[in-house]
Amino acid sequence: MFTEIFELSTTAQFHLAQPLARARLDYLTHCAQQGFRAATLRKTAQFLLVIIKYLDLQEEGDISIEQIRAAADRWATRKPRHHKTKSPTGPRQSFASIALRWLRFLGRLRKPLIQQHPCTNLISAYLEYMERDKGLSLATIKLESYYVKDFLHHFCNPPRSLKSLSVADLDEAFLEKSRGGYTRSSLCVFAKSLRAFFLYAEGQGWCKTGLADAIVSPREYKHESLPAGPSRNDVERLLASTNANTPTDIRDRAILMLLIIYGLRSLELRRLRLEDIDWEHELIRVTRFKSRCVQVYPLSYNVGEAILSYLKEARPFSQYREIFLTRRAPIQPLSGSGLMNLVARRMQKLGILPKHPGPHSLRHACATHLLTQGLSIKEIGDHLGHRHPDSTLTYAKVDITALRRVADFDLEVLL
């Protein structure tokens, strides 16, 4: 590896002769497999020697985060400093970042002692119940547990028994959330999550009875909000912004077409794998993360061409089976925040400003377009993977053309 990243053989031999050569080689090989460039590998190799020196690393022994920070500070504030170094902040961060990643890779990073929260065991038992007994999806469990953890961590700080919880404490929590900017829909989810938890807690004898019944959700108005997707003209402009042949544009074009044409959710797109594309029969398989079923679509010619172009010209070499990967090292599947930033950044650049810029707004745009094309609510719901018609009915409110025809109707002819 040293001979591959250093041009001079003497430099490669120097690095090979330094302490912990095997540990450094293994890590650099790992970084190369993650897509790091040669320049980054050279910088990392040089930093590893500095890390060994300032941490006094031996063949064995764990290192704490506090030790890394102290060593990074000593190195960044050393005198004399490099003539190009204007501030110790950058070098300190680089030292700590590389040291943390390397020691974690080696399994030698000492985990900090974390004081267990009093409600940790209760939360763990409830999570197991939701998965084992209720059969909820991981996405639903993650959402509901977020609100439960948020409430319990606030309620149990300082530590107190759940049996001391009263209805007044619940009222105070809801008042605090409403003052903190929670919308009515967020408060409804908060209330439903807590009610489900306290029903379980009452059955386990963790708290007083009657708390679950005391939690009343704010009134929900059916189909209260309009879909927040961009217009068809904005969607076309967004897609046209990816016409360049750069690797990023090639990838983003395939992603946007899948979001626009199939109305995929963020997680559904990010979980698409190479084997989900049936090139021979021109089909694409989508695993719906809410219903956890597989839905098969005909593969549109334009979408197929966009995906094929990405796979051939722009997708980095990787062992991952997910179709869409990051452009920068470490090469890995796109994260939720990564996809959100990708879409939102392109929208903002074009001045497209829906209420919630991101991939889900394109799902709304897809549904709205299908409605204006005359498809039924049932057909739109099937296309989007909705299990219940009510999930699709919200899009019926955006058929502005039909509403205008009603408004233009001369009611006097009925008199």
Ramachandran angles phi, psi of 351, nearest 5°: 75, 20
Catalytic site residue 356? no
**C-alpha distance from residue 185 to each of 217, 273, 318 (Å):** 9, 34, 41
- Please tell me the distance from the alpha carbon of residue 126 to that of residue 142, in angstroms, as a whole number: 12
From 246, 266, 243, select the one nearest 343 (Cα to Cα): 266
Tokens for 396, please give them.
């019926």
**End-to-end alpha-carbon separation of the chain, Å?**
89
Task: For 24-55, give the DSSP string.
Answer: HHHHHHHHHHTT--HHHHHHHHHHHHHHHHHH
- 360, 364, 369, 383: the catalytic one is 360
> Per the residue annotation, which of 15, 92, 265, 364 is the catalytic one?
265
Catalytic residue among 43, 108, 285, 290: 290
Is 200 assigned a catalytic role? no
Distance (Å, rounded) from C-alpha 186 to C-alpha 177? Answer: 9
| Options 363, 364, 369, 383, the catalytic residue | 363
What distance in Å separates the CA atoms of residue 284 and residue 302, rounded to the nearest whole number? 13
Choice among 27, 126, 200, 395 that is catalytic: 395
Residue among 216, 223, 148, 218 at smallest CA distance from 184:
218
> Which residues are bridge partners to 63 per DSSP?
109
Active site residue 386: yes
Q: Which tokens is 246 given? A: 């750069």
Whether the upstream peptide bond of residue 19 has omega within 30° of 0, thus cis, is no
Nearest to 398 by CA among 353, 359, 352, 354: 354
Which residues make beta-bridge pairs with 295? 286
Q: Are 344 and 358 in contact (CB under 8 A)?
A: yes
Residue 262, C-beta contacts closer than 8 angstroms, at least 6 positions apart: 284, 286, 297, 303, 366, 383
Is 222 catalytic? The answer is no
| Helix ranges (DSSP H) in 133-272 | 138-155, 167-179, 184-204, 211-214, 232-240, 247-262, 266-270
Our answer to whether residue 360 is catalytic in this structure is yes
The gap from C-alpha 27 to its chain's centroid, in whole angstroms, comes to: 27
Token reading at 409: 């109707």
E strands, 283-345, in order: 283-287, 294-298
User: What residues are labeled active site?
Assistant: 265, 290, 360, 363, 386, 395
